[in-house]
């Protein structure tokens, strides 16, 4: 039975991934229904406001489930009514007598309540099947529910000796095609993507997700403390392309240069220039419904996030190359570490081989014993 549980939960996960990047602020959820060992119906959560996965699977069956039917769902069924009805009520009303759950609802107010409601109604409920995989699917949603703020994630691409570019600043390309395609997939997941003004000036990036048959554009945050992008604003793609309305300049509050960007039709978020900067940015994201931001900026932007203890998650791509050049820039984190136990670490680590390259990703854990450096350059690139 354990083997069949795993097989059908994998099928439910495949369904859930069909909503990749489309369900914010809701989680991705998939469900499959099984009768007599055969998968007879599927469903997934398409987008916020649409029916949840469990309801979709019930509807797609087109009839009442048989008495031995089992519903597999990647996330504990919801027990409250939002824009759609309670999934627990829909499951109970359907006549299903058995439910297998992957991950438990991360919301502390709801955690375990859906399972309890189903059990009280006489259903047999099992949980924890492929729980880690089901939790990993919703790193953004889970973080929002537990911490009440957006997931701020960083991406680095380095050589074996930790370099992010040559001494002349050339960084295209450290990693190969497969790894770069993987980055596009994560861009598709996050509601926002961020770089510093220096990166815009050096690379003139699109900052879109370009997957086979689909190009999408998250909100594009340009952190520009010194308005490096002002002189080239009429030429840079992020300020002039089809997705111009999705570009947001993050700049110091009260500066007259801000008006020039707004006059050109660019959104501006004005932020304080002190240590409240990152908290203010996170608060504004939550107010605007931006539940996660994928930082692809250079070492300066990422280092400031780390130095303030605000980088929540890291995607570390590493290529089998080394420059062996002490003048080449590396990833700088803004911390003073004298002992190995003081090192920052990743937890809930996931690894993947991407052609010749590797991806290591996980949540950033900040040790209490390390000290932050005082010579930070600021958050806006």
**HEC per residue, 261-280:** HHHCCCEEEEECCCCCHHHH
Choose the catalytic residue: 54, 76, 135, 296: 54
Which letter, b or e, does each residue of 240-267 get, where b requires 16 or more Cβ atoms within 10 Å of its Cβ?
eeebbebbbbbbbeeeeebeebeeeebb
> Residue 341 CA to chain centroid, in angstroms?
28
Please give the helix or strand (H or E) that residue 347 lies within, else none.
strand 345-354
Task: Name residue 359's beta-bridge partners.
Answer: 317, 352
DSSP for residue 166: -
CA distance 128 to 135: 10
Under 8 Å between Cβ of 58 and 42? no
Under 8 Å between Cβ of 68 and 35? yes
- Helices 113-120, 87-94: axis angle to 10 degrees equals 20
Tokens representing 37 are 């060992």
Tokens representing 254 are 């009260």
CA distance 108 to 46: 25
Is 132 among the catalytic positions?
Answer: no
Helix (H, G, I), strand (E, B) or coil at 82: coil
- The residues assigned a catalytic role are 54
């Amino acid at each position: 039975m354990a083997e069949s549980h795993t097989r059908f939960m994998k099928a439910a996960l495949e369904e859930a991934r069909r909503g990749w990047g489309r369900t914010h602020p809701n989680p991705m959820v998939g469900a499959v229904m099984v009768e007599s060992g055969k998968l007879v119906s599927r469903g997934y959560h398409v987008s916020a406001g649409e029916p949840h996965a469990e309801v979709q699977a019930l509807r797609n069956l087109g009839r009442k489930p048989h008495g031995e039917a089992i519903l597999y769902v990647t996330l504990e069924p919801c027990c409250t009514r939002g824009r759609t009805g309670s999934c627990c009520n829909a499951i109970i009303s359907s006549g299903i007598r058995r439910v297998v759950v992957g991950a438990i609802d991360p919301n502390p107010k709801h955690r375990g309540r859906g399972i309890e409601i189903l059990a009280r109604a006489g259903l047999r409920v099992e949980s924890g099947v492929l729980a880690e995989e089901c939790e990993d699917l919703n790193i953004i949603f889970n973080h929002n529910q537990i911490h009440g703020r957006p997931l701020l994630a960083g991406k680095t691409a380095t050589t074996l000796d930790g370099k992010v570019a040559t001494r002349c600043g050339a960084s295209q390309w450290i990693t190969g095609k497969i790894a770069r395609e993987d980055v596009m997939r994560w861009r598709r997941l996050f509601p926002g993507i961020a770089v510093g003004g220096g990166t815009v000036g050096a690379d003139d990036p699109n900052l879109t997700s370009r997957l086979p048959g689909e190009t999408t554009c998250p909100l594009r945050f340009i952190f520009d403390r010194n308005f490096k992008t002002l002189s080239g604003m009429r030429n840079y793609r992020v300020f002039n392309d089809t997705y111009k309305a999705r570009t947001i300049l993050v700049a110091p509050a009260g500066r007259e240069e801000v008006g020039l960007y707004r006059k050109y039709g660019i959104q501006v978020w004005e932020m304080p220039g002190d240590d409240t900067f990152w908290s203010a940015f996170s608060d504004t994201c939550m107010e605007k419904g931006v539940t996660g931001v994928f930082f692809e900026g250079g070492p300066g932007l990422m280092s400031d996030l780390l130095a303030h203890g605000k980088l929540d998650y890291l995607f570390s791509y590493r290529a089998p190359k080394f420059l062996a050049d002490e003048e080449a820039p590396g990833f700088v984190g803004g911390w003073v570490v004298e002992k190995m136990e003081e090192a920052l670490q990743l937890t809930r680590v996931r690894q993947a081989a991407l052609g010749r390259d590797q991806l290591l990703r996980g949540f950033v854990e900040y040790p209490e014993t390390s000290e932050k450096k005082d010579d930070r350059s600021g958050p806006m690139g």
